[in-house]
Chain A
């Protein structure tokens, strides 16, 4: 009898412990999070090895993004439908050796801007004089993003502008201006795209284009026939826009090779990026989809093969909004970062960090989601993210922007959003069934994440400590060494908000090296070229990208942080042509211009 009572007492204590265990776990997690501690520049340098200062005003940048106003049938949910279009891409359009910034705008009649680097810490908008500003005229749609690539190999980066509307291709006239060449290029007449990337998928030395549709291309968002234009399901939707793989025929013409290349998807694509994941010399394609699973296509040089499910990345449906590659463990293999939605108490999707499983490679490649283990899982309503060594310590860090709709701080739309998200297709698919937002926020005013790689298998959020304190509705992030100082600065585009430039200050003892590549047999932009750097007994691989993150493109120049006392053994460059070039013991703290050996 007594023993029974003791057992019951013990059970009651254990039960009470179980009830409070979530609170204990929360407390432990909070204690680990140092990102909420604000530090001054000196302290941040001492603790984290870098500090970011927002300098857009002093740099002469005063861009504020405007959102579109779509068909009035969507008025009641306009803030969440017209919620994208702030995008940033980096280009040295005039080949002066200093990176410039192109930013898209999305209000009808609004202008995009091209900030030319003045070499003195400031920028000047030259988009109008260059002929690439007035691209959002009513009836032609509005900009969603831009990617730069030298499609005709003349040495100057050309501009592809993707829109909700008519996409545009502009030829760069040797840095003196741009000529619209859309009509002769053979582009689709109308689409609602939120991603596009340049890649040479067939290795012919000419850059091809991949474009990912979001809303169906049959829809004109300003003249809706009806309101059945929303996703047919919150996580299983296949009624989005089609994808386009446009094969570069040369002479400024492209052909639609999508079907021939084996890509057939109508998921709601928000991000795509390409990298050679298997060492085949061909860029594989990762596609992050909203309202569904991600897709991964292995490329055999002619056709793409959907291996999403087989490799583990394409099974659990989420709200994919980002695709970025990074060799986070310095072992010569890329992890893939996909952003999703997490909102306390409503929806905890968690972001995905797909890391190649030990012992798998090539066609057997398989990925595990290690976002939680490594500490990069929860980032609110996450959008654009990029890998880059922000403190030059030799490991890649991760910058994430977030926040969906920031309106009335005190009233949230989440309850109504969660209601409709659970509805059957005949309910969720029709915009008229969605409750009115009435000025409420939806995951608004969120703090950004700057996850510092500790080199020991963990990322620690140091955003507040290093000076990233904005709470705008972030969309697109690009990393770039804006002033040729050997550090990565951050440019962030915000929906209905200002373009932010975070100037980076890095502890001087940490060394770096950069590679500015130019193809000859390969495409001249060297998109797809890989550099594997061997130093101090470790290696890191990076690849020149034709677009990554969310609606973004980093600088083409590859930046490696090296840590202290770096002794570089060699840099091995594998060009898209298959050519392998080795640079022995390149000097540190320098940008190296390297041309593909003829």
Chain B
């Protein structure tokens, strides 16, 4: 949930001069930050979804500051803050804690993981997924995540679904979201059959804002997903599989942990595959 601003596939410059089309162009690095900000503001002004403005601002400022400092220290350049902004705002929305320190620690963990946990010059964990998962695992007495509805009608949910789908479609990652959602629904029926719980209760999490942010902004992060579109669908399916297993073990934050486990594994396999493929090509060239 950090680098939606950097599409993997090079895009063709839009021919249309329409402002709307330009805004939704996949190479608009401000698209995701603006939309996630709109979602946050709409959610908070309507329903007070945030713990507080201060905590969200703290998470954003910490993220951006960490990105700027680490970028300068390690690369000697000032990085664009859009990616760190999304990480910060994600932490601000998803982390629920009465304390201030988790917002600082989570933001620092998320951003610094990009620079520390690297392989072949690529970071392997989605930053905010890493930060939130670590915090949920190590500080359960202080930290939870957003797990409730925004309001009590269906409209906020529909707005986020539509907006999210548009963005994801434009950045050519709708296949990931669609595969995950369909897999989740299918596995919800399986879980219902196994546990005897009403199937609507198994579907219920998918209707909440935490999942909407998870499926639109986190599992689709271009920097930490595999490149091949079929492989992307397979990975999304595997995330849903691992999540189902964790859910059968009654683990509340199953989606975060599933992505935490599957995402880097898929990424490493892709790197191994690429290097093997490249090695196979070398003799032919030679």
Q: Known contacts A7-B73, A424-B157, A425-B153: does B203 contact A345 (CB below 8 Å)?
A: no
Provide the bound-state CA to CA distance between A22 and B135, in Å: 7
Interface segment among A241-249, A414-422, A448-456, A587-595: the answer is A414-422
Asked whether B162 is an interface residue with its Cβ less than 8 Å from the other chain, the reply is: no
Alpha-carbon distance A427/B205, docked complex (angstroms): 10
Q: What 1/0 flags go to B89-116 for Cβ under 8 Å of A?
A: 0000000111101100100110011011
Complex Cα gap A433–B51 (Å): 28
As a 0/1 sequence over residues 1 to 15 of chain A, the CB contacts with chain B under 8 angstroms (1 = contact) are: 000100110011011
Residues of B near A54 (CB, < 8 A) are: none
Q: Does B151 contact A (CB under 8 A)?
A: yes
A74 within 8 A of B: no
Beta-carbon contact of B101 and A435 below 8 Å:
no
Is the Cβ of A423 less than 8 Å from the Cβ of B201? yes
Chain A residues near B140 (CB-CB < 8 A)? 344-346
Q: Are A11 and B70 in contact (CB under 8 A)?
A: yes
Given A377-B98, A423-B208, A435-B198, CB of A415 within 8 Å of CB of B47: no
Q: Taking the complex as formed, is B202 at the interface, i.e. its CB lies under 8 A from any CB of chain A?
A: yes
Asked if B141 and A26 make an inter-chain contact with CB atoms under 8 angstroms apart, the answer reads yes
Give the interface size bracket for B toward A. 35 or more
In contact, B138 and A23 (Cβ under 8 angstroms): yes
Q: Given A8-B74, A350-B98, A422-B149, decide whether A416 and B112 contact each other with a Cβ distance below 8 A.
A: no
Q: How many residues of A contact B (CB 8 A)?
A: 58
How near does chain B come to A20, taking the closest CB pair, in angstroms?
A: 8
User: Looking at the complex, which of A123-131, A228-236, A271-279, A508-516 is the stretch in contact with chain B?
Assistant: A228-236
Partner of B74, one of A11, A20, A425: A11
0/1 per residue, B23-63, Cβ < 8 Å to A?
A: 00000000000000000000000011011100000000000
Q: How far is the CA of A424 from the CA of B156 in the complex (A)?
A: 10
By the criterion CB–CB under 8 Å, are B148 and A372 in contact?
A: no
Task: Decide if B207 touches A346 in the complex (CB within 8 Å).
Answer: no
> Is A18 in contact with B204, judged by CB distance below 8 angstroms?
no
In angstroms, Cα B101 to Cα A345, docked, is 16
Within 8 A of B (CB), among A188-240: 232-239
| Residue A374 lies at the interface, judged by CB distance under 8 Å to chain B | no
A432 lies within 8 A of chain B by Cβ: yes
Closest A residue by C-beta to B249: A415
Please encode chain B, from 193 to 236, with 1 for each CB lying within 8 Å of some chain A CB and 0 for all others.
00111101111110110110000000000000000000000000
Cα–Cα, bound, A428→B200 (Å): 9
Contacts of A236 in B (CB 8 A): 47, 149-152
Judged by a CB distance under 8 angstroms, whether A336 is at the interface is: no
Taking a contact as CB atoms closer than 8 A, the residue among A12, A371, A415, A428 that contacts B252 in the complex is A415
- CA A316 to CA B105, docked complex, whole Å: 23
| Residue among B96, B105, B198 having the largest count of chain A Cβ atoms under 10 Å | B198
Q: Is the pair A7, B197 in contact by a Cβ cutoff of 8 Å?
A: no
Q: Is the CB of B96 within 8 A of A348?
A: yes
- Chain B CB within 8 A of A37 CB: no
Across the interface, do B205 and A345 meet the contact criterion of CB distance under 8 Å? no
Any A CB within 8 A of the CB of B250 = yes
When C-beta atoms are compared, the residue in chain A nearest to B203 turns out to be A427
User: Which residues of chain B are within 8 angstroms of A25 by Cβ–Cβ distance?
Assistant: 101, 139, 142
Residue B143 interfacial (CB < 8 Å): yes
Q: Which chain B residues border A316 with CB–CB below 8 Å?
A: 48, 50-52
Q: Shortest beta-carbon distance, B245 to chain A, in Å? A: 14
A11 near B204 with CB under 8 A, answer no
C-alpha gap A421/B149 in the complex (Å): 8
Contact A433 B149 (CB under 8 A): no
Contact between chains at A421 and B52 (CB < 8 Å): no
What's the nearest-Cβ distance from chain B to residue A349, in Å?
8
A422-B205 contact, Cβ under 8 Å, with A11-B74, A15-B116, A435-B198: yes
Is A432 a contact partner of B98 (Cβ separation < 8 A)?
A: no
Q: Considering the chains assembled together, what is the distance between the CA atoms of A346 and B148 in angstroms?
A: 11
Which residues in B have some Cβ–Cβ distance to A below 8 Å? 47-48, 50-52, 70, 73-74, 96-99, 101-102, 105, 108-109, 112-113, 115-116, 134-136, 138-144, 147-154, 157, 195-198, 200-205, 207-208, 210-211, 250-252
Additional A-B contact list (9), CB under 8 Å, known A22-B143, A435-B198: A15-B109, A22-B139, A26-B142, A348-B144, A418-B147, A424-B149, A425-B154, A427-B200, A435-B197
